[in-house]
Structure 1
Amino acid sequence: MKEFDYKAFYNRVGAENGWDFSKVKCQSEGIGIDLYSKLVQKATGTEILLDIGTGGGEAVLSISNSVLLAVGIDNSTGMIATANKNAFAKGKTNVRFLLMDASNVDFPDSFFDLVTCRHSDFSASEVARVLIENGFFMTQQVSESDKLNVKEYFGRGQAFGISEGTLKEKYVKALQDAGFSQIQSSESTVTEYYERPEDLIFLLKHTPIIPHFGEYDDDFKILDEFIKAHTTERGIRTNSSRFMLVAKK
């Protein structure tokens, strides 16, 4: 099986749809975690926020009234174009979106009061550098057990076969090494019900849950078998698993 090129995949999806999942019909059962709700609780309206891996900017735009200035960065030109279009459509004047890599954040030391990162990789040392003393970093990430029944059917998938908690431990250690002294963690798993097969197909085509989905001859046969086995009265059942870290510098 060929190695999955996540960066090329990410750029392609950004150009195609800017991660616009608004038309996907899915219901959730259970209590999940939400990074930006946590941010709103901490913000006082005077902060400068950096959002790493901002994508199409939908999330940061939705909470922009809670901070003085929000800066979203992403390494995809398609994502940044979508984010700027969304900002213009919403008339937001306190949000900026910039093409930038998370491993080299082109801002001065101690520039931001808050830093967030949702479902994207980050450099703990760069986060620590641009964050003020006593500032907070918050990240929400996809756990290894996310969409586990789907990955089991395909016999492959994002973090498939990796022990639960591996990514969280990696990030906690990186944050500790970068000088963060207070790190809190939380996890959640909720049941998801996708209303139609096309909703699940859209998800698999536009996320790396099943790398190279649709490029193998039996992918749609496997998907059909999965749908038949996991269809309930509420929809096609799977799970969403996430973890969140809140770290104080």
Structure 2
Amino acid sequence: MRREDKQFEHWIGQANQPFSGWDFSHIVETGRMNSDCLAWSYGSMAIPLMRDAESMLDMGTGGGELLSMLKPWPRSVCATEGYRPNLSVAKERLEPLGVTVLSVEDDEHLPFETSQFDLVLNKHEAYSPREVRRVLTDGGYFLTQQSGGTDCFEINERFGVPLNTAFAEWKLDAAMRGMRENHFEVVKQSEQFLSQRFYDVGALVYYLKAVPWQIPDFEVDKYREELYSIHLLIEQQGYFEVTQHRFYLLAKALS
């Protein structure tokens, strides 16, 4: 077996590490996957909004990793999570801290009262503008950061898998239109395309297992040839580069 074949098999085997909540530290903190810096900070925008709110909802909390660090909290805090494996992780982390954590599988029907929250936070979670407006008080704020529809499209090109057509047009303009059609004023917004690099093929495999919507039928054996091609590219130039698509908006609920 050639040296690069042995190294390839090593990385494939090394990717079999547990993934819990929404924690990519296994490949990020070790420098095996890195991204360029955004022109904004979701956390730095969220904290002042939380300070002025009495009640707050965190949509798509993952394992509660980010929410647990965004303090001080308003008096009343709820969180939702739609991905079953994350739900128990979020409950274990957040409920002892006083957060109500609920499972949500339908964006059009949130299990909350009308006008229940002064603030809704949403990082990389699907949402219904109409339903977000329903649960917000008049004058309340909605802050979301989203992955755009072309996120990491180079992965799909390499694997010969089309982007999900249902989300291909998901971008800032579409999100802003949804806000305005549902009685929101967009206060701030920005969109950015930035570099994300994988420095070994094992990091890519770990990533794809954690985000199954990128390549919905992903299995190592099914895409071994494509993975090996990426491995050789990394051996040659040091990394496999893709393009992140990110945008955010801050919207105020109109009366």
* TM-score calculated relative to the size of structure 2: 0.78
Provide the C-alpha distance between the structure 2 equivalents of 1:116 and 1:132, rounded to a whole number of angstroms.
14
Structure-to-structure mapping, 1:17-96, within 5 angstroms: 17-25=20-28, 26-44=33-51, 46-87=53-94, 92-93=97-98, 95-96=99-100
Deviation sequence 1:78-110 (CA, Å, 0-9, x none) = 32211012236xx523x2211234321122221
Provide the C-alpha distance between the structure 1 equivalents of 2:45 and 2:230, rounded to a whole number of angstroms.
35
Q: 2:206 aligns with which of 191, 202, 208?
A: 202
Structure-to-structure mapping, 1:1-249, within 5 angstroms: 17-25=20-28, 26-44=33-51, 46-87=53-94, 92-93=97-98, 95-101=99-105, 102-159=107-164, 166-207=170-211, 208-214=213-219, 217=222, 219-230=223-234, 235-249=239-253
Unmatched runs of 5 consecutive residues or more in structure 2: 1-17
Provide the C-alpha distance between the structure 2 equivalents of 1:230 and 1:215, rounded to a whole number of angstroms.
17
Provide the C-alpha distance between the structure 1 equivalents of 2:167 and 2:110, rounded to a whole number of angstroms.
30
Specify whether residues 234 and 136 from structure 1 end up closer, same or farther in structure 2 by C-alpha distance, changes over 3 A only. Answer: farther
Query: What is the Cα deviation at residue 234 of structure 1?
Result: 5.8
Paired residues, number:
230
Provide the C-alpha distance between the structure 2 equivalents of 1:191 and 1:211, rounded to a whole number of angstroms.
23
Matched position secondary structure for 2:161: coil
Matched position secondary structure for 1:24: helix
**Structure possessing the higher radius of gyration over alpha carbons:** 2
Provide the C-alpha distance between the structure 1 equivalents of 2:171 and 2:37, rounded to a whole number of angstroms.
23
Specify whether residues 160 and 148 from structure 1 end up closer, same or farther in structure 2 by C-alpha distance, changes over 3 A only. Answer: farther
* TM-score calculated relative to the size of structure 1: 0.79
Specify whether residues 196 and 51 from structure 1 end up closer, same or farther in structure 2 by C-alpha distance, changes over 3 A only. Answer: same
Answer with 133-142 or 181-190: which moved more. Answer: 181-190
User: Percent of counterpart pairs with the same letter?
Assistant: 24
Unmatched runs of 5 consecutive residues or more in structure 1: 1-14
Provide the C-alpha distance between the structure 2 equivalents of 1:78 and 1:162, rounded to a whole number of angstroms.
23
